[in-house]
Structure 1
Amino acid sequence: MILRKCLLSILILATVSQLARFAQAESERLPNFLVIVVDDLGYMDIGANNPNCFYDTPNIDGLASSGMRFTDGYATNPVCSPTRFSLMTGRYPTRRQCTNFFSGKRSCKYHPAELNDRMPLDEITIAQALHDKGYATFFAGKWHLGPSKEYFPQNRGFDVNMGGHHKGGPYTGKKYFAPFENPELNPESPTGEHLPDRLASETATFIREHKQQPFLAYLSFYSVHTPLMGRADLVEKYNQRASDVEGNVFEAEEQVFLTKDVRKVRVIQNHAVYAAMVEATDQAIGKVLEQLEASGLTENTVVVFTSDHGGLCTSEGSPTSNMPLRCGKGWIYEGGIRVPWIVRYPGVTLGGSVSHEPLNSNDLFPTIAAAAEVKVEHEIDGVNLIPALSGNELSERPLFWHYPHYSNQGGFPGGAIREGKFKLVERYEDGRVHLYNLEEDIGEQTDITSTNLDVAKHMRDRLHEWYKTVDARFLREKNGQTPWSP
């Protein structure tokens, strides 16, 4: 009897010890990461940022209520490929002349700057950094960072690639509805399947199958990029809602280069098809977040939500409004570069918290690297946001933009710098500058350069110093006309 009791005691102690080691291992496990990037989604396109939003985004809003929402989050460029470069690398795309979407070479009064239409193979991606740490890595959706397979996600650190290739939109097959005819999206989908839902399902499957090891799941929606196509049920819902919207839908905007028609900007959200696309994307995000919960991973997964630039409001159907932010995609005004940023980091962020710290796409890489205990030994431009996620202030720093191109959406070639409440915009055709106080004039309507000459000079000098640091290129001569250069 005594021997039996001793053996039982030893067994109990061993079991308790094993459970304690298991609990310790679980608590020390590195966090998972779910990064969600929506294409073309404007800052004002989600309810969390816009109480009067025309679109229903309950899952995104729920993410904001359970994490931290940033009011002053930016993309590093007003179009897609450069911002995607910076999200992947933590570096300004200007360093590699990746300054426009990777086929954009429009000429107008002058020729644009030289464009490198691929993310160079020697750039280190966040997927490569985490893969070397033992993470499983997954990519779904839009890539648009190189012209051929060696530049695709499966060759840039991702174990799995579902749908990422050289195109910037779902332009093959039935576009947003199966059959997709996407060369990197296999197996085939049943006819009529909706692309956002398919990408979410692939992401959810990856999460379910990799819940026993740390992972990076990078869900990069093709939505809400053109072509404008929505599910019939949601289009009907928003057509009914749009019938109640009153007021002038469009207003005049600056004419940078000539088109057949006067370019106007949408100032009211009431586009039913675009609204359907936004809500379908929100539903797809909900599916992935539900899988995190079902897999028991919510408390050990950092979720990051953002967009690659501002909403489309001046061309190609002009489906959304970014008001009160000026303009949108393709412009270096706030409407083109200020984007949604939400981060939920369990144990670090407080639910429903709001930060006014300025940040941009470069900051994703160093933040994830710090959370995953990955040492960054190469040059990057972003900063670790974990102090801000903890409710503290970041060290003051300027943010920069460089867009030496004529955008499809009507934006002018230019650069910008933000320091504190001030933002300076510089035009590359003639060198004119405009200074705005974003605290008092978020719509960038009042140029205060003449009454703040010292501030404008300081910021312009700093912007020009940055141009040299990143080897910025500028507009080129055309038809014997020479553009301004710094």
Structure 2
Amino acid sequence: MIRLSQRSLRLLLGVTTLVSLGLLASAWIKKPAPATPNVVLFFMDDMGYGDLSVTGALDYATPNLDRMAAEGSRFSNFLAAQAVCSASRAALMTGCYPNRLGVSGAFGPNSLVGLNPNEETLAELLKEKGYATGIFGKWHLGDKKQFLPLQQGFDEYYGVPYSHDMWPLHPAQAQAHYPPLHWIENNEPKQEIKDLNDAGQITQIVTQKAVSFIQRHKSKPFFLYVPHPLPHVPLATSATFKGKSGRGIFGDVMTELDWSVGQILGELKKQGVDKNTLVIFISDNGPWLNYGDHAGSSGGFREGKGTSFEGGHRVPCLVRWPGVVPAGRVSNKLLTTMDILPTVAKICGARLPKQRIDGVDWLALLKGDNSVTPRDRFYYYYRKNNLEAVREGDWKLIFPHPGRTYEGFLPGQNGKPGQSTETKDIAGGLYDLRRDPGERYDVKEQHPEIVTKLEKLAEEARADLGDDLQRRSGTNVREPGRITN
């Protein structure tokens, strides 16, 4: 038994009292709130589900994206809101089904419609909270001044106003008489992209602009939107990456895009803001399959861009936020591009848009709570406003509809598209995506009760958003922006 002297006992009691008082004081002192996180949002163009090495790509590697998946979470059941450029981007920026906004298809040069300036974008909501906002890459929500990014909440813009195949030199668009394609800086056109050598600098320029934005805004919260114009055709890469893959020009382009992501992630670390930055990596739709060796991979899902099958909608989704988003996790919960806005708004303390949106908040799932199911249904709309399919849980009901198919046709080569059919009637069917993610086996005869349930869901969609196939107008559809003079 240890005996303490009176002096030692008094000393021990004094130390204990000080420790207790210190703990009590720390409980009363309010700890500073964590710094508002930065947000970096990558949005690739026509990148398919299978175009990363972590999702099965062959003959080239994407080590920076693979590392991002290892250091963060991968969401394997993530859908683009529509399988086409402008509509998909409208959904990302507003959290809405694009047809709710009157947005469809891919806007061409000098389009008289665009994203309505009355819609509130993610950039506007974050700017209201004091964020610096910048976009570097492809906009494609209207190329008239009133539709450009600076009128939609962004402080800075440098990029192309629409897809870079909408130019005079594209072999499949030679009769379209497109105007010259220029870079746009803020609201003004700058140098022309004249040929594939110029186009080969696109990824480098976008990367340089994004890195500069981080350097200039590291001391305040920022929202950096990087919608890379590639790997949309025509494919082009800088001299540094030519011939660097075993997959030809497509692999070279993917290698350079992966390098770009690595440069931007590296700059976050260099500037000391890495741990306080949420980084999201997604694509606008699936691959343009009839371009063959110049197209990506749907990862085994049926069809591709421009279709309501999973190959058109299912895209990669990687999310990294050190210390917040679990590392090395894969989640199979259903999510969409529309869900980015409400989730990021919640993270950053921003309000939601005043008008109705369709996105759901998935912050709890993002942080690792796999018991929550933020979304259980999705409406597959295409063309102007055709409801082509509905999904609830893992059941997907496709309605007969006119549409695109790549199946049964040889794909093109060397940058020229192969044939695809736009007028063939697509057969309807019920698919169980748990057992049949390739949508090959119609089981509607085995599950008539599921068909009935999903048809009721479709009626809800039609009442809300309409359905051109049934000549029905929705009660909650808004108008796009229009040039009236």
Q: In which range does the TM-score fall when normalised by the shorter chain?
A: 0.7 to 0.9
- Tell me how far apart the structure 1 counterparts of residues 358 and 71 of structure 2 sit (CA, whole Å): 29
Partner residue, 1:149: 145
Larger radius of gyration: 2
State the Cα distance separating 1:431 from its structure 2 match: 9.2
Larger proportion of strand: 2
What pairs with 1:330-345 in structure 2 (closer than 5 Å)? 330-345=306-321
Deviation per CA, 1:135-192, whole angstroms, max 9, x where unpaired? 1000011011013011011110000001142x222655999xxx97423388769986
After TM superposition, list the pairs within 5 Å mapping 1:412-431 onto structure 2: 415-429=388-402
Q: 1:133 to 1:472 in 2, by over 3 A?
A: farther
| CA distance 1:208–1:24, change in 2 (3 Å) | farther
After TM superposition, list the pairs within 5 Å mapping 1:19-34 onto structure 2.
28-34=34-40
Number of the residue aligned with 1:6: none
Match of 2:5 in 1: none
1:54 aligned to which of 59, 63, 66: 59
- Residue 46 of structure 2 contacts residue 285 of structure 2 at CA under 8 Å; is this kept in 1? yes
| Structure 1, unaligned runs of 5 or more | 1-22, 105-114, 242-269, 407-412, 477-486
Verify: 1:226 aligned to 2:233, yes or no: yes
Task: Give TM-score scaled by structure 2 length.
Answer: 0.77
1:455 corresponds to which residue?
Answer: 450
1:34-183 alignment, distance < 5 Å:
34-50=40-56, 52-103=57-108, 117-165=113-161, 167-169=162-164, 181-183=182-184
Q: 1:323 to 1:126 in 2, by over 3 A?
A: closer
Matching residue of 2:380: 401
2:71–2:328 contact (8 Å) kept in structure 1: yes
CA–CA distance in structure 2, aligned partners of residues 458 and 395 of structure 1:
20
**Cα 1:174–1:204 shift into 2, 3 Å:** farther
SS in 2 for 1:326: coil
1:201 aligns with 2:208: yes
Q: Tell me the amino acid that sits aligned with residue 62 of structure 1.
A: R
Is there any run of 5+ residues in structure 2 with no aligned partner, and where? 1-29, 171-179, 403-424, 472-485
Number of residue pairs matched by the alignment: 402
From the superposition, tell whether residues 416 and 54 of structure 1 become closer, same or farther in structure 2 (CA, over 3 Å): farther
In the alignment, residue 226 of structure 2 is paired with which amino acid? Answer: L
Distance 1:474 1:318, change over 3 A: farther
CA distance in 2, matches of 1:44, 1:420: 23
Alignment check: 8 A CA contact 2:379 2:387 kept: no
**1:385 aligned to 2:374?**
no
Amino acid paired to 1:72:
N
1:34: Cα distance to partner?
0.3
Superposition RMSD in Å: 2.9
1:440 to 429, 435, 441: 435
TM-score normalised per structure 1: 0.76
Distance 1:174 1:352, change over 3 A: farther
Q: Is the 8 A contact 1:424 1:434 kept in 2?
A: yes
1:352 aligns with 2:343: no
* Alpha-carbon separation, structure 1, partners of 2:378 and 2:219: 39
2:479 matched residue in structure 1:
none
How far is 1:346 from its partner?
2.8
Tell me how far apart the structure 2 counterparts of residues 220 and 320 of structure 1 sit (CA, whole Å).
17
Contact preservation (8 Å) 2:158, 2:184: no
The percentage of counterpart residues that share the same residue type is 31
Equivalent residue for 1:304?
A: 280
Q: Confirm or deny that 1:320 pairs with 2:300.
A: no
Say whether the 8 Å CA contact 1:98–1:116 is kept in structure 2: no
